[in-house]
Structures are given as structure tokens and as C-alpha cells.
Amino acid sequence: MFEIGGGLLFFGLLIALSSIKFVNEYDRLVVFRLGRVSGERGPGVAFVVPLIERSQKVDLRIVTMSIPMQEAITRDNISVKIAAVCFYQIIDSRKAVTKIEDAMAATSQVAQTTLRSVIGQYELDDILTERDKINAKLQSIIDRQTEGWGIKVNAVEIKDVEIPQQMQRAMARQAEAERERRAKVVAAEGELQAAEKLAQAAAVISGQPGAMQLRQLQTMVE
């Protein structure tokens, strides 16, 4: 009889201990009672009624999610490969649990399709020079699509842009031609300034005969 009583006491103690949950500051417990959401609990110590309630923990911290390399066609018909990173967090734990099965996987899929779609709206030069604008557009679109899941997309940033080898060579030639053009412009400006100085000196000498004789004397000395 004592053994049975001791066993029941031990079993009851286990159930009581299992009902106590310690919830971190950055976590929340979504509690289901008989299959329905009854509320959120945490942070701190939370109690879950055994056999009647079950809980699911949700992390509210910002998640850094890499968007794998995506192949897309730009508006000027150039094939590019682009990788990005997405920063998001769950702001509504109930929705994140009840509206979507896997929040991270779903957000990743939305981010990939959105990245390909948005890149197709820009020409290559814009993708290379207007990243901030494209990043903001990506963030806005993905955020709207995941809002119903209780997810907030804080930022999206393009990390890498890969372009075909022949396009890289063409861009290198264009850059070299631009450097040569600028060098010629600088040289021409220098020659123009020198010519202006000579013209000014000639005007001074022609207006002052004494200056002309002094210049001839300096030339003889040299």
C-alpha cells in the first residue's frame, strides 16, 4: 500500500513539475486549451495545466536569413545571379503559430520569388548603382506578404551580384575607355591653362617694351 501511495505521489510530482515552464525574455508561449488558443504566457514562470493544455514556444528575436543565389533576367535581358540576406522577426506569436506551419521556410520562399521578380524590373546598371532603392523595395514587398503571418521584415540587403564573364569583360573595357577619356580631358585642360598663361604673358610683354628687353637679357644669361 505504501509503495502504491509513494508511486502516485511521485507521478503527481512529475506532472506538477512538467506544468511549470520557464520563459525567456525573448520568448513567448502560445497556449492551446483543448485545441484552441487560450492565450500567450511569458516571460518568466508560466503554468500549463497538464492533459488539458499544451504550449508552443515562439522566439521573438530578429532572425538573419540568407536568401540563396537566385538567377534572374534583368529588364535589359541580361542573366544575373543575386544573393541577399533578410532580417525579420515574429511580432505576433499567435499568428505565427496558427497561420503558418513553418514561418522561416515560408518567409524564405516569399523572399526568393520576390527577389527574382524585382530584379526583372531593373536594368543591370540600376542593380549595380541603386542597391539601396532596390533593397527598400524588396523589404516593403516581402513585409506586406508576411504581415498576415505575424512576421515583420526589418530589412533586406543584396549581398552578391554575379554577371556573365563576357559582360564583365565588356564593363572592364568600358571602364578603361572612361579612364582614358578622363585622362585626355585633364591633359587638354592643362594645355588650355598653359596657353592662357602664355597669352597673358605675351600681352604683358607686348604692352611694356622694357619687359621685353628684360626677358631677352634673361634669355642671354640662361
Element (H, E) at 196: helix 165-207
Q: Identify whether residues 12 and 34 lie together within a single domain.
A: yes
- Residue 205: the pLDDT is 56
Report the pLDDT averaged over residues 39-67.
91
Judge whether 58 and 28 are in contact, CB under 8 Å: yes
On average, the pLDDT of the chain sits at 82
**Chain segment 68-79, per-residue pLDDT in tens:** 999 999 998 988
- Residue 171: the pLDDT is 55
Higher local confidence (pLDDT), 75 or 180: 75
Q: Identify whether residues 153 and 194 lie together within a single domain.
A: no
Q: Identify whether residues 55 and 71 lie together within a single domain.
A: no
Rounded Cα–Cα distance for residues 169 and 191 (Å): 33
Report the pLDDT averaged over residues 157-169.
80
- Residue 174: the pLDDT is 63
Is the pLDDT reported for residue 181 higher than 90? no
Is the pLDDT reported for residue 97 higher than 70? yes
Report the pLDDT averaged over residues 177-192.
66
Is the pLDDT reported for residue 66 higher than 90? yes
Is the pLDDT reported for residue 168 higher than 60? no
Rounded Cα–Cα distance for residues 199 and 214 (Å): 18
Number of domains in the chain: 3
- Residue 163: the pLDDT is 86
Q: Identify whether residues 72 and 130 lie together within a single domain.
A: yes
Is the pLDDT reported for residue 139 higher than 90? yes
Give the bridge partners for 28, in sequence order. Answer: 58
Q: Identify whether residues 81 and 146 lie together within a single domain.
A: yes
Torsion 28-33-37-39 (CA) sign = negative
Q: Identify whether residues 85 and 118 lie together within a single domain.
A: yes
Proportion of the chain above pLDDT 90, given as a percent:
52
Q: Identify whether residues 103 and 194 lie together within a single domain.
A: no
- Note down the domain range covering 197: 168-221
Last residue within a domain, chosen from 17, 43, 59: 59
Report the pLDDT averaged over residues 194-205.
63
Element (H, E) at 153: strand 151-162
**Chain segment 110-136, per-residue pLDDT in tens:** 999 999 999 999 998 899 899 999 999
Is the pLDDT reported for residue 6 higher than 80? no
Last residue within a domain, chosen from 33, 59, 85: 59
Q: Identify whether residues 54 and 69 lie together within a single domain.
A: no
Q: Identify whether residues 151 and 181 lie together within a single domain.
A: no
Q: Identify whether residues 97 and 179 lie together within a single domain.
A: no
Q: Identify whether residues 179 and 209 lie together within a single domain.
A: yes
Last residue within a domain, chosen from 59, 77, 104: 59
Strands 53-59 and 27-33: what pairing? antiparallel
C-alpha cell at 66: 540568407
Q: Identify whether residues 69 and 33 lie together within a single domain.
A: no
